Amino acid sequence: MTLRVDEVSLAFGQLQALDGLSLAAEPGRIVGLIGPNGSGKSTLLNVVSGIYAPQSGTVHVGGRRITAFQPDIVATMGVGRTFQVPRLARRLTVFQNMLVGGRGHRGENLWNLFVRIGAVRTDEHSMQERAYAIVRRLGLQDKINELAGQLSGGQQKLLSMGVLLMSDPQILLIDEPAAGVNPVLIEQQIVFLSQLRDEGRTILLIEHNMDMITGLCDDVYVLDGGRVLAYGTPDEVRRDPAVMQSYLGTHERKVAS
């Protein structure tokens, strides 16, 4: 599914967080989103996922307008996200978190719990198998009965990616997967994200780690002050003088030249 954002604006009081921002992301591609702190990256993710409603502009997924839909509706339409600070049920185990990631479990319906006991058991069984396959892919299989809050920061980011995958989203919004994560886990995430791209999913990736951006992204949008400052391949964007000025800083220009 294609993600399209058109002319989206959102202000918090005097602060113009998004200022007529437009972008698009296609299936089978990883689109990077970079820019200094406060440039509107996370706000954009919040608008797409329905946590904030934009004051103007539209959001479409797969040609359907989802502007200002509630977060749960956006999620059921195949748009999944992670958060910069991973959101997990910290007092529940890794596996409990994973199992809630999958939707359509008949055991979440009160009636079924007392009437369709067999169906509940069947769903639980298949949900557990799926969760275990993903957990193994992430290398967390030895941790399934540990509390999510007791994992390291990097493992929590992996877990929230796993929880996200349980619902098989077609559009993934990933917020800073590498921040504060050790290099081995970053490497693992790069492999993982490129696999997801090859499965034909649409990925929008916020990241400050430039190795990850250049290694993974097909296109990059550079945001500044809530608008798109530059757009292109990672290399094009890297050479853009305006980008160096605003984001990479003047020191980087000297190194580059």
Interface residues with another protein (CB under 8 A)?
49-51, 70-72, 75-76, 80-81, 87-93, 95-97, 99-101, 103, 105, 107-110, 113-114, 120, 123-124, 127-129, 131-133, 144-145, 147, 163, 167
Q: What are phi and psi of 39, to 5 degrees?
A: -85, -5
Q: Which is nearer to another protein, 175 or 224 (CB)?
A: 175
Distance CA 174, CA 82 (A): 5
Q: Which is nearer to another protein, 40 or 101 (CB)?
A: 101
Instruction: Please state the closest distance from residue 112 (CB atom) to another protein, in A.
Output: 9
Helical ranges in 25-152 per DSSP H:
41-48, 71-76, 94-101, 110-115, 117-137
- Sequence-distant (≥ 6) Cβ neighbours of residue 155 within 8 angstroms: 140, 143, 185
Comparing CA positions, the residue from 251, 162, 210 lying closest to residue 34 is 210
Instruction: Please state the closest distance from residue 232 (CB atom) to another protein, in A.
Output: 30
Distance CA 19, CA 226 (A): 5
Q: Which is nearer to another protein, 100 or 212 (CB)?
A: 100
Instruction: Please state the closest distance from residue 74 (CB atom) to another protein, in A.
Output: 8
Instruction: Please state the closest distance from residue 171 (CB atom) to another protein, in A.
Output: 13
Q: Which is nearer to another protein, 125 or 253 (CB)?
A: 125
Instruction: Please state the closest distance from residue 77 (CB atom) to another protein, in A.
Output: 9
Q: Which is nearer to another protein, 18 or 100 (CB)?
A: 100
CB atoms within 10 A of CB 211: 13
What is the end-to-end Cα distance of the chain in Å, rounded?
Answer: 39
